[in-house]
């Protein structure tokens, strides 16, 4: 399980529930050793040693990596001819794109806009810094509309990349950035914990407008003390902003106490717009804690500018409160990109249906129906459409498999996997398949399946758009083990598979950054506890053994289910801990299972439970030929009750 550790950026790249450590050793061939030595030399910044190892690689399939590392070490002074030679030698490759991205940043720093513009078009990677350099290039050509387009980066809650800072300096120099806009960014950065970035943004303010450093530190470190004895005058914006910041900081630890300050005489001294802003922030913090009053607090934030994240939690608070009008209002206020999320498509349709607008609801459900994910399945069920497995496609021909194996990117990825370099292999593989058509994807997925690279099998099969093979998308390896343990502990086999697919993608040697191991990602302490519970003697080194891991995981899943009494809550508890899953119930009313899931405060766990429950429906259909609907499986989560008696022994 991935409780107690939330995944790193490598997880997002891999499409996994968690990040896996390197577990496969090198085979020890001289060329392999030379490659690993080259990698070590690059990481150490040692060009001489890197050159020696590169010369020893010969025609090794991973030679492009060593050549890439050589160029990266001297990219700042490298002539364009060498970069272009590498791009021409390995056209369209993952490494060529990485080199181009690094080179474009160097060109941006040097203000070599003509070369930058020429080399930008072929770039595949999406990089905010490079996008900003592209805007700076346009400004250099006197295209001042680029300044207006840069506003999308200005209100991102993170430090500005160098290219974006360059555009901002141009906007300041041309008087295109106003004081209210600077304060808006300062406020956003402070309230999202980006204090250093906020201080850098304050440098765009005139000296007389900047906050007092002592007041800023007091607001950040002792907000309650500052608010108990606030500044006598709130006449300047810098002082008011520090008071607002103090209230938000307090809300991040205790929204109810922060709400009391807004309702006090201090709140009355603030302009109405500032009070509305504070209610939006307090409501946001309260909603993430699932406070029932969060919906009411959002109501007091009328007129405030809310981020998409705040609006998402407004919608979730309204869902838990049963306020469908507020659900629709929150989604209506989201940006176009956020509104397009499948979750908000579904819930907007539900809000229309609840308001008696059946035709509008149907239109929203039709946009999602037929898609194999959580909300696509729920939308299909709203339309009374059966969730069915697509027809099995024609068998993959040997020439199609040979073509997939011969793809240079896939070939390099297979070499990287062979050497145990999983993160690099995943990146290379994903880049290689990004533009493949459905038959090519299914052939690549079959190549991965035959190599028992089950994570790449699933990831690749999931990308098809018209021709699908759900036998591959929802692999069921180690069937004898799963069937036996499901029967032994009274756990639905489909659910057991659904959990494992999300936990490890069936990589038996998977190990997370926090130490969770094996198919079912068991933490060592949990594995020991369960083993003791069932009288099993285990060697810690054998926890990744398939039979052992599934036995322990199935038993633990059953114990969590017995404790919580509901598969949805047990799935959440397996990921984030049984105590948390219980706390996410409502104090006031039973919750529709889908609402409980959508309002899980941890984004990782929320996504995890959606995928586990959808997986379970598909596995039940594929393994048994029939399944309860997703909505039936989600059921209803009862309200919290004094009668709830948790198993305090569960880890």
Catalytic positions are 503
With a CB cutoff of 8 Å and minimum separation 6, the contacts of 124 are 97, 431, 434
The Cα–Cα gap between 545 and 508 comes to: 7
The Cα–Cα gap between 550 and 441 comes to: 30
Please name which of 14, 5, 8 lies closest in space to residue 462, comparing C-alpha atoms.
Answer: 14
Assigned token pair, 143: 């295209």
Angle between helices 113-120 and 94-110 (to 10 degrees): 160
Sign of CA dihedral 16, 17, 22, 27: negative
Question: What backbone phi and psi angles, to 5 degrees, belong to 522?
Answer: -90, 130
The Cα–Cα gap between 100 and 118 comes to: 11
The Cα–Cα gap between 96 and 124 comes to: 10
Please name which of 284, 272, 290, 361 lies closest in space to residue 330, comparing C-alpha atoms.
Answer: 284
Q: Given its phi and psi angles, is residue 535 left (phi above 0), alpha (psi -120 to 50 degrees) or beta?
A: left
Q: What letter does residue 506 receive in the DSSP assignment?
A: T
Q: What letter does residue 522 receive in the DSSP assignment?
A: B
Q: How many residues are there in the chain?
A: 651
CA-based radius of gyration for the chain: 27
Q: What is the longest distance spanned by two Cα atoms in the chain?
A: 80
The Cα–Cα gap between 378 and 627 comes to: 14
CB 103 within 8 A of CB 83: yes
Beta bridge partners of 637: 591
Please name which of 297, 333, 335, 301 lies closest in space to residue 317, comparing C-alpha atoms.
Answer: 297
Query: DSSP E strands: which ranges in 465-601?
Result: 591-592
């Amino acid at each position: 399980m991935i409780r107690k550790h939330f995944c790193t950026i490598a997880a997002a790249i891999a499409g996994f529930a968690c990040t896996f450590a390197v577990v496969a050793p090198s085979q020890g061939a001289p060329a392999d050793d030379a490659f690993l030595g080259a990698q070590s030399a690059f990481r150490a910044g040692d060009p001489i040693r890197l050159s020696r190892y590169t010369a020893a690689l010969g025609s090794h399939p991973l030679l492009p990596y060593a050549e890439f590392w050589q160029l990266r070490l001297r990219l700042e002074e490298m002539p364009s001819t060498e970069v272009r030679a590498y791009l021409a030698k390995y056209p369209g490759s993952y490494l060529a794109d990485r080199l181009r991205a690094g080179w474009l940043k160097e060109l941006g720093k040097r203000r070599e806009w003509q070369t930058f513009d020429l080399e930008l078009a072929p770039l595949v990677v999406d990089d905010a810094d490079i996008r900003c350099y592209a805007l700076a290039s346009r400004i250099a050509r006197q295209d001042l509309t680029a300044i207006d387009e840069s506003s999308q980066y200005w209100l991102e809650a993170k430090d500005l990349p160098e290219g974006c800072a360059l555009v901002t300096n141009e906007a300041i120099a041309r008087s295109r950035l106003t004081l209210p806009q600077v304060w808006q960014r300062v406020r956003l950065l402070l309230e999202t914990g980006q204090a250093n970035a906020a201080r850098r943004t304050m440098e765009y303010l005139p000296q007389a407008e900047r906050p007092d450093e002592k007041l800023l530190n007091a607001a950040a470190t002792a907000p309650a003390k500052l608010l108990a004895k606030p500044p006598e005058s709130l006449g300047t914006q810098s002082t008011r902003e520090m008071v607002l910041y103090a209230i938000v900081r307090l809300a991040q630890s205790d929204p109810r106490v922060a709400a009391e300050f807004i309702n006090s005489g201090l709140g009355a001294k603030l302009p109405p717009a500032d009070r509305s802003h504070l209610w939006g922030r307090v409501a946001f913090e309260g909603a993430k804690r699932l406070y029932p009053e969060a919906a009411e607090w959002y109501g007091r934030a009328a007129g405030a500018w809310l981020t998409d994240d705040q609006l998402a939690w407004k919608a979730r608070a309204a869902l838990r409160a049963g306020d469908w009008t507020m659900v629709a209002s929150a989604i209506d206020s989201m940006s176009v990109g956020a509104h397009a999320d499948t979750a908000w498509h579904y819930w907007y349709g539900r809000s229309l249906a609840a308001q008696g607008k059946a035709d509008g609801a149907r239109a929203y459900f039709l946009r999602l129906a037929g898609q194999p994910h959580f909300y696509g399945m729920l939308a299909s069920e709203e339309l009374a459409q059966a969730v069915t497995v697509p027809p099995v496609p024609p068998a993959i021909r040997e020439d199609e498999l040979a073509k997939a194996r011969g793809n240079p990117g896939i070939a390099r990825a297979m070499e990287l996997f062979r050497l145990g370099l999983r993160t690099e292999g995943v990146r290379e593989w994903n880049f290689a398949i990004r533009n493949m058509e459905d038959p090519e994807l299914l052939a690549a997925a079959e190549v991965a399946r035959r190599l028992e690279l089950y994570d790449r099998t699933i990831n690749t099969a999931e990308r098809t758009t018209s021709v699908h093979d759900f036998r591959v998308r929802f692999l069921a390896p180690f069937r004898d083990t799963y069937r036996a343990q499901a029967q032994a502990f009274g756990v639905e086999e489909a659910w057991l598979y659904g959990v494992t697919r999300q936990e490890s993608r069936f990589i038996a040697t998977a190990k997370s950054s926090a130490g969770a191991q094996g198919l079912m990602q068991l933490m060592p302490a949990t594995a020991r506890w369960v083993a003791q519970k069932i009288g099993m003697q285990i060697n810690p080194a054998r926890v990744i053994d398939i039979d052992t891991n599934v036995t322990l995981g199935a038993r633990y899943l059953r114990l969590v289910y017995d404790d919580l009494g509901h598969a949805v809550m047990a799935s959440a508890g397996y990921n984030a801990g049984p105590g948390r899953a219980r706390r996410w119930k409502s104090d006031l009313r039973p919750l529709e299972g889908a609402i409980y899931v959508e309002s899980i405060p941890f984004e990782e766990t929320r996504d995890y439970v959606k995928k586990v429950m959808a997986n379970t429906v598909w596995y039940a259909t594929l393994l048994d030929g029939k399944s309860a609907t997703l909505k039936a499986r989600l059921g209803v989560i009862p309200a919290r009750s004094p009668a709830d008696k948790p198993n305090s022994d569960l880890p």
